[in-house]
């Protein structure tokens, strides 16, 4: 026994927490040791830290020097010549704007006097290499703009006389659940146009605050040539998209969010890059593999994009510096890393089922990418211990959101991508009378014990053309004809009821946070379709129709009001995340489920037709008050139950000494109720 315990103590933490990983412990240790080796290499065995290493943005790119002049640097080892052209030299090559190669490195440098250029000037590089040349935007450019008429992108000298003065230093309460409002600046407006940082701050941010969310996750910040890519085909990784406004306006938006108690995280794209050569990194200096893998791994087969070479120290330097840049220069509170599954596997996860643990350790994993992600998390928490990271990952890779010291990759959360898939499948394929509470309950709390998750019913992915939001799956075209109060038909009533129940059970079972995409909380009726040739470059479906939820004659506000109160109930429960999810009862025949978290009791009746009178649950002895009822008239329900009643548990001699008694409730069909024990 003693020997067995001693052996157990030797297991790395990840394996200690999950015995099924024991056959793969060597691989777990190997990945961890690879990251430790890389950290030692990049920090010169501890002579500096990762934050010191990740200062590339202050060295490369265009900067003012101490005397007011300018210095420009670029990493381009394959280049034979680099010139800067722009408004200041009539876009022509001039000797005084010719960079010099720094001997022994792949770096180029150009120093210029103060009057050589000014704030607002447009510029590019002319890069020459053996056998060719081309105009390029510098890889480290912090400001990139597009000409309204020609649609051509250029870098822009950005050195305003007065730097932005931050008003608020923000620190998130880690004990509070994350309620994330996923949003897109450009489509955040009612008008059929591209919205701005200022418009979002003035018009949308107050809505987010009022709705009760405590974090916004902003998409499409990094500059991208094609608006319709949703920001996922990035060209300039250090430039906040200028189509939404200036860097200072983005900073003001973040600062204002902080002043209103909201954390701000960024949807960061390090999983791939746009192929474009003039705007992007596709062929910066005649070497298409400067930033990207060579050979078969060069291109992403599904995304028409390029895959970073995570084995190169210079690429790791670029990406880690990118993380630090957004944290320090713009004070983002963390990141949601996009496309993590694509990074982890040589196959990008395409066509793989991931049915057993062996699928995570079969040699098909990119250890360089795993190492990079681990280093990124180490760096982010080093730069800002309060920052947090979220992995968008679908394969279920063990250790993703486990601690680095335990052999994990160090993310704070992983997306519970199984949940929206489950809801889609259930709504599409299973009739209402066959919904099983036991299956639903298992799915919403299906996660690894050592990892926190962000649960959600639907994100932007489910709102895009080619897919459907939950409300559209439930009601479809009847939304257009039966969503005015008094005109609801049975399809609309069913959709309104299930929309609330689905959200409540998903949010109630969280172990980290809950996410909602902008407008989905009130059942936004339109899909997302960005301007493109196929729709006549229309913005009609690339916006949010706030007028719908503001109109008290329509049903939308019922869903929005419920969403707000749902979050409010959870936020008021002290240490909600530390309270275990304890099943009280389920009966698949009745389609009834009940569970508790602390003093909160959640009761669900999924049956489309059967209401129950005096349905009994064995619960802790005491009295219970109703806090929230999906069937309340104020949320578009029937109001069948009297929620003003305090419910008292009933004595049962069989359970003397167990501090449990029977609580009997009236539970209408297709409804859910939340009660608090007094």
Asked whether the beta carbons of 650 and 592 are under 8 A apart, the reply is no
**Contacts of 361 by beta carbon, 8 Å cutoff, 6+ apart:** 24, 27, 28
Residue 182 annotated in active site: no
Extract the tokens encoding 575. 């240490």
Neighbours of 307 (CB within 10 A): 23
Angle of helix 437-444 versus helix 490-508 axis, rounded to 10? 50
Task: Compute the CA torsion angle 147, 151, 155, 160 (nearest 10 deg).
Answer: 30
Going from the C-alpha of 241 to that of each of 220, 283, 333, the distances in angstroms are 7, 21, 19
Catalytic residue of the set 199, 223, 255, 338 = 338
467 counts as catalytic: no
CA angle 415, 420, 425 (to 5 degrees): 145
3-state helix, strand, coil in the chain (%, to 5): 35, 25, 45
CA distances from 176 to 214, 493, 643 (A): 9, 33, 28
Residue 344, CB-side half-sphere exposure with 13 Å CA sphere: 26
State the Cα–Cα distance between residues 451 and 448, nearest whole angstrom.
Answer: 5
CA-CA distance, 16 to 624, in Å (whole number)? 40
DSSP string over 26-85: HHHHHHHHHHHHHHHHHTTTTTS-HHHHT-HHHHSEEEE-TTS-EEEEEE-TT-SEEEEE
Secondary structure element (H or E) that encloses residue 492, with its range: helix 490-508
Dihedral sign for Cα atoms in the order 14, 267, 417, 211: positive
Q: 160 by DSSP, 3-state: which? A: coil
Of 74, 199, 279, 392, which one is the catalytic site residue? 392
Catalytic site residues?
338, 392
């Amino acid at each position: 026994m003693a020997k067995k315990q001693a052996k157990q103590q030797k297991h790395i933490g990840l394996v200690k927490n999950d015995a099924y990983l024991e056959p793969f412990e060597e691989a777990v240790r190997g990945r961890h040791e690879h990251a430790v080796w890389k950290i030692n290499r990049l920090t010169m065995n501890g002579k500096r830290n990762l934050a010191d290493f990740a200062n590339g943005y202050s060295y490369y790119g265009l900067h003012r020097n101490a005397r007011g002049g300018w210095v420009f640097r670029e990493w381009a080892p394959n280049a034979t010549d680099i010139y800067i052209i722009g408004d200041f030299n009539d876009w022509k090559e001039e000797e005084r704007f010719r960079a010099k190669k720094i001997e022994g490195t792949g770096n180029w440098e150009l120093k210029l006097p103060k009057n050589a250029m000014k704030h607002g000037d447009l510029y590019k590089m002319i890069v020459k290499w053996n056998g060719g040349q081309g105009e390029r935007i510098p890889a480290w450019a912090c400001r990139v703009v597009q000409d309204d008429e020609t649609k051509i992108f250029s870098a822009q000298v950005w050195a305003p006389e007065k730097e932005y003065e931050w008003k608020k230093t923000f620190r998130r309460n880690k004990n509070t659940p994350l309620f994330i409002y996923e949003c897109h600046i450009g489509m955040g407006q009612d008008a059929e146009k591209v919205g701005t940082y200022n418009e979002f701050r003035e018009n949308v941010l107050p809505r987010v605050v009022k709705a009760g969310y405590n974090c916004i996750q902003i998409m499409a910040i990094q500059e991208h040539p094609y608006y319709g890519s949703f920001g996922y085909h990035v060209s300039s990784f250090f430039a906040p998209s200028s189509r939404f406004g200036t860097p200072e306006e983005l900073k003001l938006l973040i600062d204002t969010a902080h002043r209103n108690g909201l954390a701000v995280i960024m949807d960061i794209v390090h999983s791939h890059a746009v192929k474009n050569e003039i705007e992007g990194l596709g062929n910066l200096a005649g070497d298409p593999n400067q930033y990207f893998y060579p050979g078969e791994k060069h291109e992403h087969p599904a995304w028409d994009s390029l895959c970073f070479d995570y084995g190169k120290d210079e690429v790791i330097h670029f990406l880690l510096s990118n993380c630090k840049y957004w944290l320090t220069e713009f004070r983002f509170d963390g990141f949601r890393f996009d496309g993590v599954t694509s990074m982890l596997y040589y196959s990008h996860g395409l066509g793989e089922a991931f049915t057993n643990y062996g699928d995570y350790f079969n040699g098909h994993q990119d250890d360089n990418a795993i190492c990079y992600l681990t280093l990124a998390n180490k760096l982010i928490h080093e730069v800002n211990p309060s920052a947090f990271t979220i992995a968008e990952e679908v394969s279920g890779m063990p250790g993703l959101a486990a601690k680095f010291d335990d052999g994990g990759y160090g993310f704070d959360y992983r997306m519970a991508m199984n949940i929206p898939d489950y809801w889609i499948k259930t709504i599409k394929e299973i009739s209402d009378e066959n919904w099983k509470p036991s299956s639903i309950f298992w799915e919403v709390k299906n996660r690894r014990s050592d990892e926190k998750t962000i649960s959600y019913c639907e994100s932007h992915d489910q709102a895009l053309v080619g897919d459907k939001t939950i409300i559209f799956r439930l009601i479809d075209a009847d939304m257009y004809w039966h969503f005015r109060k008094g005109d609801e038909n049975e399809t609309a009533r069913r959709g309104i009821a299930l929309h609330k129940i689905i959200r409540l059970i998903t949010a109630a079972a969280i172990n980290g946070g809950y996410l909602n995409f902008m407008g989905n909380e009130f059942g936004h009726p339109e899909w997302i379709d960005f301007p493109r040739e196929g729709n006549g470059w229309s913005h009609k479906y690339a916006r949010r129709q706030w007028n719908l939820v503001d109109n008290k004659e329509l049903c939308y506000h019922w869903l929005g009001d419920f969403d707000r109160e749902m979050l409010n109930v959870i936020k008021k429960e002290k240490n909600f995340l530390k309270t275990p999810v304890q099943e009280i009862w389920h009966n698949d025949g009745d389609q009834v489920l009940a569970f508790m978290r602390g003093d909160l009791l959640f009761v669900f009746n999924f049956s489309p037709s059967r209401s129950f009178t005096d349905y009994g649950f064995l619960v802790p002895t005491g009295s219970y008050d109703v806090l929230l009822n999906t069937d309340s008239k104020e949320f578009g329900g029937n109001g069948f139950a009297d929620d003003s009643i305090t419910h008292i548990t009933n004595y049962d001699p069989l359970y003397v000494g167990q501090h449990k008694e029977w609580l009997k409730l009236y539970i209408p069909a297709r409804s859910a109720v939340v009660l608090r024990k007094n």
